Amino acid sequence: MTAPTHQALQAADKFQLHPLQNPKTHTDPLVIERGEGVYLYTSDGRKILDAMAGLWNVSAGYGREELAKAAYEQMTKLAFTSNFAGMTNVPSSQLAEKLAGYCYPSLKTTFFTSGGSESNDSAFKIARYHWKRMGKPEKYKIIARRNAYHGITLAATFATGIERYHKMFGPAVPGFVHVAAPYPYRFDMSLVREGESIGHAAARLIEEAILAEGPDTVAAVIAEPVQGVGGVIVPPADYFPRLREICDQFDVLLIADEVITGWGRTGEWFGLKHYGVEPDILTFAKAITSGYQPLGGAQISDAIKDAIESAPEAEMWMHGYTYSGHAAACAVGLANLAIMEREDLAGRSKRLGPYLHAGLSKLLEFPFVGEVRGQGLLCGVEIVTDKETRQPDMALAGRIAKLCLDRGLRTRVVGSTLAFSPPLIITEAEIDRMVETLGAVMDSL
């Protein structure tokens, strides 16, 4: 059988509705046929350095036979079986055991999902369930931050703090409250009190939101350690320690959305490790399998687990997905973690992150590069019309991304920021190529 042509593949694609599709973004889609290492290969013969590791997730890189074999071996034995209470399977039990205390010492129990949105939806339900079991059913609200991205199920959409995701899907799901992000470059300095740091001011806004809503009505705060889709926003170092204290003070659970920051992306295995802080609930997805299978999860503390385990039948945990604990996905998760540990991908991110950051920082000489920021191999280059006014320039950011793609470099525009989140296996020479291509594009403007 002859391989379909590029044109035939594009014609076939007309029958697909894509995420975030509009006519402008999908006129001439790239058809990706193959991946190897940090590179993607298209059906019309192009080679592209994928500086986004897919969607922040292909941390172990493309073309890993070891992961394909893990899937094959598990699928030929048992691809799937119900994982509802009363049954389990080998890889989901083994992965759950492996993850007990792995991300943070106090989180020992995992609820599996197929992705980040499902994980966050589950986290909201876990928080509500927990407070109902504690005899406080009125504690149901979730405080989130602006610029947050938590996914696309209806609840996760309205936990998300980016208006574009809400506009065509209202009315809003009630119970989600947003406050300003800890975004030093764009923080409203009139909100900062005399002698106060931006990190503490941003945390205080959460405290004030809890007080305004009434602490007896707030179930949880959800926060990404680094806000990815909202613009690769790295908070000040004193933000999360203070936020943890506030949550403790008002008996509010802290949900860490580590869908992007988990599994070594920021140079630590998990994002809050940078601050010595632990969440009550952790959500993860993406790089747990390096994207080789859809898998996510929510991890919970012993206190929350006890609330579920001690429930009478009338209050039982009526939540679960067909694919919770999918056998083949969990087998790939185990094999991927083995690779990440063997190749110390978190250590690589810690080592090469500053190298990438230093390379990108050279671009600050351009008048439209407002800020370069990042943590580990997760970096952002914010594009502005003018360094003084810091007016965001989404159109220019889009143009730069398009010109980079024409030269074989894939980045992604998040707000007015170009995001860089390459596979963690990237080499220094490949980082040089990324930075050189971006610099050449900026030079050409």
Ligand X SMILES: Cc1ncc(COP(=O)(O)O)c(C=O)c1O
**Does position 291 bind ligand X by CB under 6 A?**
no
**Does position 183 bind ligand X by CB under 6 A?**
no
Question: Which CB atom, from 175 or from 294, has the smaller least distance to ligand X?
Answer: 294
Question: How many residues of this chain bind ligand X (CB under 6 A)?
Answer: 16
Tell me which long-range contacts 36-39 makes (C-beta under 8 A, separation of at least 24). 36/61, 36/62, 36/63, 37/61, 37/62, 37/63, 37/423, 37/425, 38/62, 38/422, 38/423, 38/425, 38/426, 38/430
Interface of this chain with ligand X, residues 367 to 426, rule: CB under 6 A: none
CB nearest ligand X: which residue?
A: 116
Interface of this chain with ligand X, residues 209 to 228, rule: CB under 6 A: 224, 228
Compute CA distances 402 → 25, 52, 159, 396, 441, whole Å: 11, 14, 30, 10, 10
Distance in Å, CB of 257 to ligand X, minimum? 5
**Does position 117 bind ligand X by CB under 6 A?**
yes
- Name the β-bridge partners of 192: none
282 CB burial (10 A radius; 0-12, 13-18, 19+):
buried
DSSP string, 101-118: TTSSTTEEEEEEESSHHH
Distance in Å, CB of 116 to ligand X, minimum? 2
Assess contact for 430 and 422: CB atoms under 8 A: yes
* Nearest alpha carbon to residue 332 among 148, 107, 98, 67: 67
* Per-residue mark of binding to ligand X, 33-72 (x: CB under 6 A): ----------------------x-----------------
Piece of 149-157, 238-246, 301-309, 390-398 that binds ligand X (CB under 6 A) = 149-157
**Does position 285 bind ligand X by CB under 6 A?**
yes
Question: Which CB atom, from 120 or from 361, has the smaller least distance to ligand X?
Answer: 120
Interface of this chain with ligand X, residues 233 to 262, rule: CB under 6 A: 257, 259-260
Neighbouring residues of 314: CB distance < 8 A, sequence distance ≥ 6: none
Query: Which residue in 229, 400, 438, 442 binds ligand X (CB under 6 A)?
Result: 229
**Does position 115 bind ligand X by CB under 6 A?**
yes
Q: How many residues are listed for the chain in this entry?
A: 445
Distance in Å, CB of 346 to ligand X, minimum? 18
Query: Chain centroid to CA 313: how far?
Result: 35
**Does position 270 bind ligand X by CB under 6 A?**
no
Q: Which residues bind ligand X (CB under 6 A)?
A: 55, 115-117, 120, 149-152, 224, 228-229, 257, 259-260, 285
